[in-house]
Structure 1
């Protein structure tokens, strides 16, 4: 056993490039784990910079200077965000307030529906089970309401911080885009000379991360927009709010689609009851989710979908537990990073065997 471990260690870490890659990875993980919450504006700016790099490159290919292209793209992006905020936020706020007002009625209707189940299906369920379910649901609702209230009160303390972020993030994005070459060159000066494997992994991940962020934004817009159209056709209440939730649910692979189905089905059941309209809406929603998973995702993430769904779910659970929202958002790229690291060390292992032979 000891000889096997010694042989494995020599194969994997006999080259300084492998050791350098492992040390850099360890330092980055420790840095993000301990101080990641302190550099949230930098992470947000980095995500936006990756998103806007593609249109900047397109404008450069048309003959514009890098500075002019960056300024044009950032101003356009800021204008779109302001327009979306002015148009959508009041609607979403009003629908959210109305939903909270109607939530007690929806709960009472759900109770009435559940209380009739023992009468209709006495061989499958009894009154005690229904009572336990209702008690559990009520406790969860109370707990969620307390968390929302607590979040609202604590978020008031962070208004100044958010105002600072609104100034810092655009500035960071602008300079990250404008000075991309200088920044990357500066980072390279801090790296050791034995960085062949680091360069290999970086080249494999850089383009993939940019494509992933751009594809994820496109997926959110398409799924949210198509869901809104479908909900509007059926005249579903809170169509805008529910379509935004459906769009954002794609941030969590597999799990998000299952979670957002609950509010969609609950609102539809409250509005339509167990009528044909309810089932037509659920079928339309299922078709949207099926097209997203089987058509849109493979088109937008042709490289990422090579990962087995089991690996993706494990990555969501693991990285989400480590870094919360950002861990969930980057679960697929991080899983791909792990694969790139394995590929790099596997390549190194093959080269070691060839040299040995």
Structure 2
């Protein structure tokens, strides 16, 4: 399980300068955490006007309205400028665009910089986890990539509400260095060496959050949502253990912590997206309602389903979400099919 910040040894590497590539809500929030922890933080934003707003007005109105950003946080739309001299580079782009973005940035990365992944998903086609994609594209051992997991609803953390996260890495020294760089009075980072479990927990919870949203949209209450969270955690754990994860990871922040936050909060794009589908909207209508972005779970249910099939793991809720999102099945009908499956003992 995770190791607390108070118990961690002092890092032999020190992260002073950090680049965050991506200016969405979570990327901006993570940059704010680092800046509040006293680090020199530079963000890369795709649009120059967003970079200008962050640097000169200290806001990112499109993604974090109402949040004032620290003065030691600046942004640029020039990736080479952003990456110069960075001790750590945080990749804060969606999982399905991570590869193409990193291919453009690869030759600009400072030597031996610590790569940190905020993306939560499984890549379509290759079925690789994000640390595997980063390792492959950047030409570094995937065990050297620090993965950020846990209940990380951006708006609440940006407001300074107490929260925690898990920094998972096979190279514990790197995890501790990033942990130290992101330790603030409102955000408590823990470390973990179980990268597989931490990444799968983060990817699968988006799919389960879709199902919880659909249940709410159909008019069902807390019992239904609790059932989906619990059984969703069980199928996530089955896949994780099959791929070598520590089963106890799923009882921690990267597992049940992230699952509960994403499945229960109206701030979760995946839950909100699912609720609209449950109320009878199409994928396109739901996409427009959440700002034109497709929820990660819509894409992830396909790749996670394919990964589960390849591993011979039964993931009925994930399969149900695939049928709704990609085969056009009715959520109520699929829900009834889930309840009508063959009876069996409860197993995790």
Taking structure 2 as the reference length, what is the TM-score of the superposition? Answer: 0.21
Structure with more relative contact order (C-alpha pairs < 8 Å, separation 6 or more): 1
Whose radius of gyration is greater, 1 or 2? Answer: 1
Q: Which of the pair is proportionally richer in strand?
A: 2
